[in-house]
Amino acid sequence: MRSSLSAANGCKLILPTLLVFAVVPAEAQEIQRNQSFVENFADRLHPARWYISDGWNNGAHQNCTWSRDQVSVADGRLKLAFERRTLGERDHVCAEAQTHARFHHGTYEVRMKAVEGSGLNTGFFTYIGPVHNQPHDEIDFEILGKDPSRVQVNQYVDGQNVGAEKLVPVEGGAASDFNDYAFVWEEDRITWYVNGDLVHEETDPAKLPSHPAKIYMSVWGSDTLTSWMGAFEDSDAPRVAEIDRVSFTALGEECQYPESLVCMMD
């Protein structure tokens, strides 16, 4: 979730998002829009594909500053950390990685272990918005640390939360172990899957995003969005989400690895 916030009544507000444009490495020019990929984090987060958010925050609702120090790769996994440390105007630091390229119709997949803790949010989503000179379109998986037994799915079209968030159970818990989250974005529908099971579908043309978007993975916190994320609970120890794999497979292309949802659907 980039610039959409939960109000006290549980609805979402659209507020300005404080973003910066990424400086794109020269080698990133070779990565084209809608190009299929699999990222297994064998050694590092490759700068040609990924931009690490650093030194800013998303607005007054966010109690942390994005810091590249909170993003690391170890043991074949991407680590996204949240911890108490003053940086800029915030008393906590948090983590976000986003693609340089934009993607459209296809299958988006992540194998992820979320963080637990009231007031925290672990997300895997697509986003494009005014900072990119585009309307705000978004497709989400968001795990609220107050109750990691469930994952929230929803979508935005032109800044409107048209998806009416749905909470989906995650067997065993999203923060206890790795789980597979995927959505298939097609011209006439979006389908969301948890561990290979279909959990939600949207077919209303008015509720389907239409603009190619960037892929995001993030962990962040809030002191103010208590009706949605719960009262923030601080900790002396860092909370760390782990990403084992992330991928995008363009529509019509072959399955890229055996565990992919695309293989299951072939």
Tens of pLDDT, residues 7-18: 322 333 333 344
Structural domain that includes position 227: 4-19+97-234+245-265
The pTM assigned to this predicted structure is 0.90
Does 169 map to a domain?
yes
Closest CA to 223 of 144, 119, 147, 96: 119
Mean pLDDT of the chain: 90
**CATH code of the domain containing 160:** 2.60.120.200
The set of residues, in sequence order, having a beta carbon less than 8 Å from that of 133 and lying 6+ positions away, is: none
Task: Measure the CA–CA gap between 187 and 189, rounded to whole angstroms.
Answer: 6
Does 113 map to a domain?
yes
Does residue 243 surpass a pLDDT of 80? yes
142 carries an active-site annotation? yes
- Which one is predicted more confidently, 4 or 85? 85
Residues of the chain with pLDDT > 90: what percent? 82
Does 47 map to a domain?
no
Does residue 27 surpass a pLDDT of 70? no
Residues of the chain with pLDDT > 70: what percent? 88
Does 224 map to a domain?
yes
Distance of CA 26 to the CA centre of its chain: 25
83 carries an active-site annotation? no
Question: What is the structure's pLDDT at 266?
Answer: 76
Task: Measure the CA–CA gap between 112 and 104, rounded to whole angstroms.
Answer: 22
Does 196 map to a domain?
yes
Question: What is the structure's pLDDT at 10?
Answer: 32
| Confidence category of residue 167, pLDDT binned at 50, 70, 90 | very high
Closest CA to 1 of 100, 142, 180, 107: 142
Lowest mean pLDDT, pick from 56-60, 108-112, 189-193, 243-247: 56-60
Q: Which two tokens stand for residue 134?
A: 């585009």
Q: Which two tokens stand for residue 168?
A: 């989906």
Does residue 184 surpass a pLDDT of 90? yes
Task: Measure the CA–CA gap between 74 and 41, rounded to whole angstroms.
Answer: 8
User: To which H or E segment does residue 261 belong?
Assistant: helix 261-265
Regarding beta strands 106-113 and 120-128, do their DSSP bridges make them parallel or antiparallel, or are they unpaired? unpaired
**Amino acid code (one letter) for 86:** T
Q: Which two tokens stand for residue 224?
A: 């103010």
Across the range 207-221, mean pLDDT stands at 97
Across the range 181-207, mean pLDDT stands at 97
Question: What is the structure's pLDDT at 119?
Answer: 98
| Confidence category of residue 31, pLDDT binned at 50, 70, 90 | low
Residue 173 vs residues 116, 144, 178, 196: alpha-carbon distances, Å: 10, 11, 9, 15
Task: Measure the CA–CA gap between 89 and 183, rounded to whole angstroms.
Answer: 35
Greatest Cα-to-Cα distance within the chain, rounded to the nearest angstrom: 49
Alpha helices (H) along 50-103: none
Q: Burial, 40: exposed, middle or buried (Cβ in 10 Å; 0-12, 13-18, 19+)?
A: middle
Task: Measure the CA–CA gap between 261 and 59, rounded to whole angstroms.
Answer: 35
Tens of pLDDT, residues 98-152: 999 999 999 999 999 999 999 999 999 999 999 899 999 999 999 999 999 999 9
Task: Measure the CA–CA gap between 120 and 127, rounded to whole angstroms.
Answer: 19
Question: What is the structure's pLDDT at 94?
Answer: 98
Question: What is the structure's pLDDT at 43?
Answer: 87
**Choice among 39, 109, 116, 138 that is catalytic:** 138
Does 81 map to a domain?
no
Across the range 198-202, mean pLDDT stands at 97
| Confidence category of residue 26, pLDDT binned at 50, 70, 90 | very low
Number of domains in the chain: 1
Tens of pLDDT, residues 216-241: 999 999 999 999 999 999 999 999 99
| Confidence category of residue 200, pLDDT binned at 50, 70, 90 | very high
Other beta carbons within 10 Å of 162? 16
**Choice among 39, 109, 116, 142 that is catalytic:** 142
Is residue 229 helix, strand or coil?
Answer: helix
Does 115 map to a domain?
yes
Does 207 map to a domain?
yes
Cα angle: 170, vertex 176, 177; to 5 degrees:
80
